[in-house]
Structure 1
């Protein structure tokens, strides 16, 4: 495949590229403006059809792609030396992300038609979903950091709107605000990083920045500062320690939102940004070390919390945080294509499991507590079978997709650091345990819900099961895009993405050629599978063979168990260290500065103006004689002042 620096001519009409984000935006406008006039089905069809259109165009570009190029729409910002055109960049990375966002997005839109059918604001829901797709497409198509940042902020806004979609519930509104505020912390770092990029390279265009960066020395201080700031942004958006607490609370939103935004697409924006700026991170090995450590720590930390959660969506939420940590671990050890490989496989099996959880919640009359479920595999056979495939994939069991991507990550980690590899392996064991704990508690044993819930148990409609089946197929076979032993020694995804990492490979060629020998690779693969199998077996022993059930909330727990159950009290710690002091400071400023100083000073000026107006009012009598006398007095004063000078 030919590699051409961005700037080459686009092979299709500009309008075709504009349509990719424009179609979802039109869906946003139609569903938003006609919310009350459209039926639920029509709103769902409009929302789904616009995303399908974007997917088909992306598919056309993917299959006819020959070289990298940019598409200029118009000159956007021109201030002195600052020139920022509004451009799209079409290359291997953007095309893969386009297919992921629109493909998985379309399936989740279809699922939402059944899931949200009875909601009174279904048009508004699809409007927000379409706006999210539009923002995410801008994020991945932009040819410079400013357009990336616009999309970045757009998906953050949509996340806020969709988490708090059921805004009559105060807890849901608080979760939406929490997500918005924590993301602002990360976004500040990202914005400062963009400013520093412009000051350093005199441009924010990818092509210019990366070309100039490729001539710099590895370990340059300013590039380390830039990448650390960019990583702060990624930590917020992709829920890494310590900015992860918003993601579990984001499960307050409708389940399709959790699948689309908080599993498959938006939370991977941080990984996309690091991949896009890979040459900058390659120049900053210290930053890469930080990325790897934070990723491994997040993966392990979130996995331990997932062991004790009883809300079906909270288990999946902490699993998502953990898997995002895996992706950052891969980035930190320079497994760039491996990280994107796991982004893809994770999108398949995690979207599948969130939608499967939604099917369970739908059947259980909105019940999410695993302690109230059990034996659902008989009433929900399609949901059970597809969910099982998702669990096998995330547990790294061959030949399902998660096995290939997770094995690659652990292999790269082993070459870089045995400690990071051990953390990753332990995480793999715990992941298999808590995912099958969820599966066994929900689908096996006796039903533990109410008689009314049991009476209404039913499989979901076709609009919900069709996406489950498609995602289950992708979760089962998706790993073969990166399975050399099954494809004649070729890693199709790595080969396809290679041109994106050209500059990085020139800077550190050894890092791209470091692979363990065949025996070591087999050993690592065996240990990875053994960890997953051990986790599954232990979950079976505890929750099927012994039929153990999680304790109720008020039950007494041992110290370590209580610590994990209460998520290490991190929310309480943040509340004590940050929220309460800031609220106290705000209240103090309001009481002593706002009310004690500013308001009285402003009040003095206000009263003075008011008093002057009151005095002047006496001369406004409405009598012509009074105005004539005042005019004469004024003329006399003017003449007197003028003649007085002489």
Structure 2
């Protein structure tokens, strides 16, 4: 299978090129076949690649395919080389398989859109860019894919560009993620200066020999790489772009949140784990950022009324769990949560898209309700996704991945009680808003007129994702329940095992606490939003709860803070700088050109006598010059 590696990113890229160049001349059927088919074939090749890798036919743990030399300078040679190992394969499978399901769903969901070809062209390029990122053999090629997903997110978030708010959301995502991208490229420059190579395997091999643990150079590099990951993965304080990214079509939201852009930061940190292990400070900062993010985003998700914004804040919070796991050294647990999260978050977004479409584009959850009987299949699929998000014990995939993170947040060498408590608080909040979503959207009375139910093209992806949202966790059980650790064994050839510290309680005790917290959150959501809604009405009329709700609803006022600290001062300085010497010089050139043009125009007045006089003056001038010389 090694010789077919290039087809995985090339097929979506070819779909993009065909749709971009000839999409306007193609029928919608041909557009859907091209856009969806290219990703589906890539997913099939990825599945065959995983099967071949598991069977051991490769004879080693790494597939490498060198396509050609990109460029070479005196000290730097960069080639278009693809490198696939166990970590890459996890991401490749999720990107292609979940991406294919989203494309199938979108082929029906977006059929009425007039820019059908442009939509699938951007989606294909998005998938191709993410595949280049995770398959890159060197940091230059990785950065190419990194910037590719940033560009595609801009194009897709602002897909409906006729609306000014959508354009602002696209600009916001592009600008804020550039902060992280700048930090990442500086970190790459420093790595090349220190190690003289940008090949990822060479960096991971040479870094322990070149840097001492905790040195200033390696800590600076690790923190810069972390900042890059924070921008793409929307971690505090660079998280404000992601809720506004819901301006794009729902399949775009599903693709960004489940399979592509926001998980790029998780992949970067896991891929460069050797760099982070050499910097205990960077590891602690990573865990702290994840802990803060999962609580900040979770609190905002509790009070949102837009169904897509609830899921957006939920994504920020769940990636916070992944950063927490990465920071405490639970590498496999972080990637396992990425694995399960991709299924249930894609499911929730696609199911939300069906609900929005069914209710004539209504997104306010409090104008929904009563859909349990009208959309039973969508309801049970959404219930499976919400249960996995809430980590319902034993019967949801999210339980197995989140349980591992909570266990390691306390017991891992980099863990402590503070990180564990933060994870528990996040678990309660997640369970609460998951129950709130299900109860408000699907239970109670119907509040909005309904449209036609979804077709099979939209429901089949939901059923597949619902099945995986329940069963995908069964490949990695807690150590004290069942001796099944297929996922961590799979990643054991790439990522280091998690080391435990002494003095931690038994795993069973921590599991019981986590289960009680989760069930308490579910029961609280059910009680407040279904059994006794009068309590909520009383809270809303009280001063402090209303102020707290407004604070959380606004995303903890981060946008207002940045507006005062960054946006307004920047606009003030640009206003002062508007009439500097360079602007005056340019204005002077323009003024001179205008005056000269008026002078020439004055001579072209249509009078024959003026023209004859001008010719005579010119002749006399030439004769005079000749006589003088």
Structure 1-normalised TM-score? 0.89
SS of residue paired to 1:46:
helix
* Residue in structure 1 matching 2:255, options 252, 256, 260: 260
Structure 1 residues 497-528: Cα deviation after superposition (integer angstroms, max 9, x where no partner) = 11212xxx4xxxxx733178997111111111
CA contact (8 A) 1:111 1:256 kept: yes
Partner of 1:433: 432
Partner of 1:175: 169
Correspondence 1:241-320 to 2 at 5 A? 241-320=236-315
The yes-or-no answer on 1:581 pairing with 2:569 is yes
Partner of 1:468: 462
**Cα separation, 1, equivalents of 2:31 and 2:481:** 43
Partner of 1:129: 123
Partner of 1:108: 102
**Cα separation, 2, equivalents of 1:518 and 1:583:** 52
Return the offset for 1:133. Answer: 0.6
Structure 1 residues 545-572: Cα deviation after superposition (integer angstroms, max 9, x where no partner) = 12459779x9886322222233322212
Return the offset for 1:490. Answer: 3.7
Return the offset for 1:601. Answer: 4.7
Partner of 1:499: 493
Structure 1 residues 19-77: Cα deviation after superposition (integer angstroms, max 9, x where no partner) = 11111111112222233333333312211110011111112222222321421111112
The yes-or-no answer on 1:563 pairing with 2:551 is yes
The yes-or-no answer on 1:333 pairing with 2:328 is yes
SS of residue paired to 2:159:
coil
Correspondence 1:170-569 to 2 at 5 A? 170-215=164-209, 216-399=211-394, 400-415=396-411, 416-449=415-448, 453-454=449-450, 456=451, 458-483=452-477, 489-501=483-495, 505=496, 512-514=498-500, 520-547=506-533, 558-569=546-557
**Cα separation, 1, equivalents of 2:263 and 2:286:** 15
Cα distance change on mapping 1:574 and 1:593 into 2, 3 Å = farther
What do you get for the CA RMSD once the two structures are aligned? 2.7
CA contact (8 A) 2:329 2:499 kept: no
Cα distance change on mapping 1:622 and 1:51 into 2, 3 Å = farther
Cα distance change on mapping 1:344 and 1:593 into 2, 3 Å = farther
CA contact (8 A) 2:127 2:260 kept: no
Return the offset for 1:624. Answer: 9.7
Cα distance change on mapping 1:518 and 1:178 into 2, 3 Å = closer
How many residues of Structure 1 are paired with residues of Structure 2 in the alignment? 608
**Cα separation, 1, equivalents of 2:478 and 2:507:** 12
Return the offset for 1:487. Answer: 9.1
Could you tell me which runs of 5 or more consecutive residues in structure 1 were left unpaired when the two chains were aligned: 1-10, 506-510, 638-646
Partner of 1:599: 586
Return the offset for 1:496. Answer: 1.1
Return the offset for 1:491. Answer: 1.3
**Cα separation, 1, equivalents of 2:602 and 2:377:** 83
CA contact (8 A) 1:289 1:333 kept: yes
**Cα separation, 2, equivalents of 1:518 and 1:189:** 37
Which deviates more, 490-499 or 340-349?
490-499
Partner of 1:39: 27
Cα distance change on mapping 1:205 and 1:568 into 2, 3 Å = same
Structure 1 residues 589-610: Cα deviation after superposition (integer angstroms, max 9, x where no partner) = 1245565x33345457758987
Cα distance change on mapping 1:622 and 1:101 into 2, 3 Å = farther
**Cα separation, 2, equivalents of 1:288 and 1:609:** 66
CA contact (8 A) 2:28 2:116 kept: yes
SS of residue paired to 1:223:
helix
SS of residue paired to 2:371:
coil
SS of residue paired to 2:472:
helix
Return the offset for 1:302. Answer: 0.7
Cα distance change on mapping 1:407 and 1:84 into 2, 3 Å = same
**Cα separation, 2, equivalents of 1:227 and 1:213:** 12
Return the offset for 1:99. Answer: 0.6
CA contact (8 A) 1:163 1:252 kept: yes
CA contact (8 A) 1:404 1:482 kept: yes
* Residue in structure 2 matching 1:139, options 103, 108, 133: 133
CA contact (8 A) 2:333 2:404 kept: yes
CA contact (8 A) 1:376 1:384 kept: yes
Partner of 1:7: none
Cα distance change on mapping 1:70 and 1:592 into 2, 3 Å = same
CA contact (8 A) 1:383 1:459 kept: no
Return the offset for 1:264. Answer: 3.0
**Cα separation, 2, equivalents of 1:203 and 1:107:** 38
Partner of 2:608: none
SS of residue paired to 2:72:
strand
CA contact (8 A) 1:483 1:491 kept: yes
Return the offset for 1:126. Answer: 0.8
Structure 1 residues 169-214: Cα deviation after superposition (integer angstroms, max 9, x where no partner) = 1111111110000011111101101111110110111121111113
Return the offset for 1:117. Answer: 1.4
SS of residue paired to 1:36:
helix
The yes-or-no answer on 1:152 pairing with 2:140 is no
SS of residue paired to 2:556:
helix
Cα distance change on mapping 1:520 and 1:232 into 2, 3 Å = same
SS of residue paired to 1:167:
coil
CA contact (8 A) 2:2 2:64 kept: no
Return the offset for 1:122. Answer: 1.2
Partner of 1:641: none
CA contact (8 A) 2:400 2:478 kept: no
CA contact (8 A) 1:382 1:459 kept: no
